[in-house]
Structure 1
Amino acid sequence: MKTKRVFDGQRGVITSIFVASIFVNLLVLTAPLYMLQLFARVMASGSLPTLLALTTGAAIALVFFFLFDVIRQRLVARLGSRLEARLSPAVLQALISGALPAALRSAEPIRDIQDLRGFVTSPVFIALLDAPWSILFIALIFVFSPILGLVAVAGLAVLLTLGVLSEVMARKPGETAEEAARETNAAVEEMMLNAEIIHAMGKTNAQIGRWRGRAFTAILFGTLVTDRVALMTSLAKATRMGLQIAVLGVGVVLVINN
């Protein structure tokens, strides 16, 4: 099965996800534009009707943001389900007919398709859809002020660095955890196939001991991955908040200096 055929027949769903992403990312600008108009129009004029109109418009925009985000999430979930429903029977048929290499004749290819569905429906896939819009947002910030644009670029560079560090820190223990999990599952399958023989020979406790060692390794390294990713995620959240504060602070300085 060629990789390029994975998304065959899903063009309509993918197009709909792309269109929904356009509206979601445009509507993300609601909050900063609202704040900008508050400073530029409401605070300068002291007009309550202007404040009411801006707030009403922002509320309507937020409703549409919610609707488009929900639509996108559901479309992504359906894309993952459709991929698994279409690919799993084909892979299973290849496994049964012997069309796949001997090294792949196990349940692992089916698990890979389940992993593919998990990736498509995960926040990572949504983040990849939204990532290109960061370029547009930074360009808009540069339109307002080159200084603010430089602050945004610096913040983006820090966030990208944290993302790379998170990947590097989690890769090795993640691979070890996955390998241990595969060995654990294989051991369980082997024990189930030979359950009567193992029980008759009195080796039940020994087999369980071997399984427990592999399972403990998977749990240990899985926990290590979770801890490292959680650390970098929290650091990234704090960095994003700091970036927002930095942009607002620099903006105020620019206003004070006309």
Structure 2
Amino acid sequence: MASKTLFQTTMRTARSQRFSLLVLSFLANILLLASSIYMLQVFDRVLASGSLDTLIWLSVIAIFAIITYGFLEFARRKILNRTGAWVASELSPAVIKRTISARLEHGRSPAGLGDVKDVRNFLAGDAILAFLDAPWTPVFITVIWLMHPFLGMIAVAGAIMLFAIGVLHDILTRHRASTAAMQMREVNNDAQAYVENAETLAGMGMVEAVLANWKRSRAQAEADGSQAEETSSVLYNLSRSLRLALQIAILGTGAALVLRAELTAGGMIAASIILARALSPVERAISAWKAFGSYRLASGRLERLFRMTADDQPQVSLPKPEGKLEVTDLRYFSPETKAPIIRSVSMKLAPGTLCGVLGPSGSGKSSLCRLLVGAWRPNFGEVRLDGASLSDWNSTERGKFIGYLPQQTELFHGTIAQNIARMGEVDDAAVLAAARKAGAHGMILALEHGYETEVGNFADQLSGGQKQRIGLARALYKDPSLVVLDEPNSNLDGTGELALQQALVKMRKAGQTVVVVSHVPTLLRHMDKIAVIQDGTVAAFGNRDDIMRDMMAKGRHVTAKSASQAAE
């Protein structure tokens, strides 16, 4: 039997409130009969007897019942609101973590925080109340039947017709609504991507073009959604009209029965009120069906997300590695297209070795970096650090021993000190040591607020080179055993380039194993080993001088051949 996912466990806990809600719903719906009983007694007893005392006591009892009903209704909504908030607080961190894992392992995530929001909105909304009250419809109809079978038949026919409208509503709107929701989700994601890449769009005059495309996509999504909304609106209004017509029918029938002395005037009024209570949950359920549809789709997506990503299992904490790196027959395929990205990579680096990685664009250098730090999991082969596979550590433990600087350096919302400390507890001494080692200490102090400068996705006061130097400090935080730098000098000026070279010298002295993707000769001269990647394969690997000599020889041969062909 498959184990329960965190999503299933959380939802099961949330559903444990059902008993309390059912008890409260039972009491609330019983108290809803108070107004009907009051009307019945006033018309049939008070007006007939002319007793003012009876009227006063009936009024007091009815008011008490209504006030009690108000408290019960408040309790129901409070339980639902707190349940929805609890589910969101339990699921949100796990969903973010699993979305990251799914993005790395499968290329995309089937769910996100928007789905958690849909689940919360349903659990805390009126839809649940409508569904809780719906089972009491037969009870109210039975009460009407006991007043007179003709009235009961009208109530039964009305309930059947409203139920049929609800089923028709689901059949006609479910597919359209789900398709429109998915399309709108993609449209909103596109809009967010445009905002995040505002500089590129504005700088190249692409704003109007992308907005035109976005408007077309949004219009299509809106059109599909509008069709579902219009269908839902028509059916909802039909149900409301039908309910009003049924009340007229039951009043008219009741009046006829009063004239025939088969029903009292109080019974006629009470039957009309009870019918409204009986059919109200069915009508509300139709209007709440959209929320239920969103909840159902969101639950399915979240369940897929939790099924496709595994929980971190408790593992023995391994000691800090010395930095011995072994890569054996490493292969990696695109999660979406299944095209090979890394075909075969094998190499060994002793602790304290600096290895440069060369290769043309698209050869797989950046992909290799992601595999070396454990961000991606290889399809075949393995990466070992001091004999232990990277999978032998959970990501938090492994991250303490690995430093990584990607091509695009992203700083997260917080201070520079928090970013260098990898958004954990800030160790002042370690932050300063990492910044000095990366040659970023003076640059950071030159900022107005120094290490307390706020940065993030939209903090534009830092240049690309400054972000890259802070990213290097983050990679060097607490002297990790393995450091992987992907084009670490792509945004650096002369000062930053010199600081990077000095950092490489310090890393060698500290015995750290370093892998650097670069084409800059001044950086390559610090390397001990060179790996040449071509089409996802290691074309050459060895000592720096030997590899550079072979490359220069091949370069001269190609140049001579080209010159000879030109002379001919």
TM category, shorter: 0.7 to 0.9
Contact 1:183 1:214 in 2 (8 A): no
Q: 1:144 aligns with which of 134, 144, 147?
A: 147
RCO comparison, higher one (Cα < 8 Å, 6+) = 1
Match of 1:22 in 2: 26
Match of 2:205 in 1: 202
Residue 187 of structure 1 deviates from its aligned partner by 1.7
Match of 1:40 in 2: 44
Between the aligned partners of 1:46 and 1:194, the Cα distance in structure 2 is 79
Counterparts of residues 154-169 of structure 1 (less than 5 Å):
154-169=157-172
Q: Which has the greater radius of gyration?
A: 2
Contact 2:144 2:152 in 1 (8 A): yes
Residues 67/190 of structure 1: CA separation in 2 closer, same or farther (3 Å cut)? same
User: What letter matches 1:119 in structure 2?
Assistant: F
Q: Tell me, what secondary structure is at the counterpart of 1:136?
A: helix
Between the aligned partners of 2:60 and 2:118, the Cα distance in structure 1 is 43
Residue 62 of structure 1 deviates from its aligned partner by 1.1
Counterparts of residues 166-205 of structure 1 (less than 5 Å):
166-192=169-195, 194-205=197-208
Residue 100 of structure 1 deviates from its aligned partner by 9.6
User: What letter matches 1:120 in structure 2?
Assistant: L
User: What letter matches 2:245 in structure 1?
Assistant: G
Between the aligned partners of 1:148 and 1:120, the Cα distance in structure 2 is 35
Task: Give the alignment's Cα RMSD to 1 decimal.
Answer: 2.7
Instruction: List per-residue Cα deviations over 1:124-177 (Å, max 9, x = no partner).
Output: 211001011112112222222222211110111121122233334433442342
Q: Quick check: which one's helix share is greater?
A: 1
Contact 2:92 2:116 in 1 (8 A): yes
Match of 1:74 in 2: 78
Residue 2 of structure 1 deviates from its aligned partner by 6.3
Number of residues paired by the alignment?
Answer: 257
Contact 1:94 1:100 in 2 (8 A): no
Between the aligned partners of 1:48 and 1:101, the Cα distance in structure 2 is 77
Q: 1:135 aligns with which of 133, 138, 141?
A: 138
User: What letter matches 1:165 in structure 2?
Assistant: L
Contact 1:84 1:113 in 2 (8 A): yes
Q: 1:53 aligns with which of 57, 60, 66?
A: 57
Residues 204/22 of structure 1: CA separation in 2 closer, same or farther (3 Å cut)? same
Residue 11 of structure 1 deviates from its aligned partner by 5.9
User: What letter matches 1:21 in structure 2?
Assistant: S
Match of 1:84 in 2: 88
Unaligned runs of 5+ in 2: 263-568
User: What letter matches 2:36 in structure 1?
Assistant: P
Match of 2:124 in 1: 121
> How high is the sequence identity, in percent, across the aligned residues?
33
Between the aligned partners of 1:103 and 1:53, the Cα distance in structure 2 is 70
Residue 220 of structure 1 deviates from its aligned partner by 3.6
Match of 2:235 in 1: 232
Match of 2:390 in 1: none
TM-score by length of 2: 0.42
Unaligned runs of 5+ in 1: none
Residues 176/12 of structure 1: CA separation in 2 closer, same or farther (3 Å cut)? closer
Between the aligned partners of 2:109 and 2:103, the Cα distance in structure 1 is 9
Match of 1:241 in 2: 244
Between the aligned partners of 1:219 and 1:21, the Cα distance in structure 2 is 37
Contact 2:7 2:91 in 1 (8 A): no
Contact 1:80 1:118 in 2 (8 A): yes
User: What letter matches 1:73 in structure 2?
Assistant: R
Residue 49 of structure 1 deviates from its aligned partner by 2.4
Q: Tell me, what secondary structure is at the counterpart of 2:13?
A: coil
User: What letter matches 2:91 in structure 1?
Assistant: L
User: What letter matches 1:113 in structure 2?
Assistant: V
Structure 1 window deviating more from structure 2 (238-247 vs 122-131): it is 238-247
Structure 1 window deviating more from structure 2 (128-137 vs 241-250): it is 241-250
TM-score by length of 1: 0.85
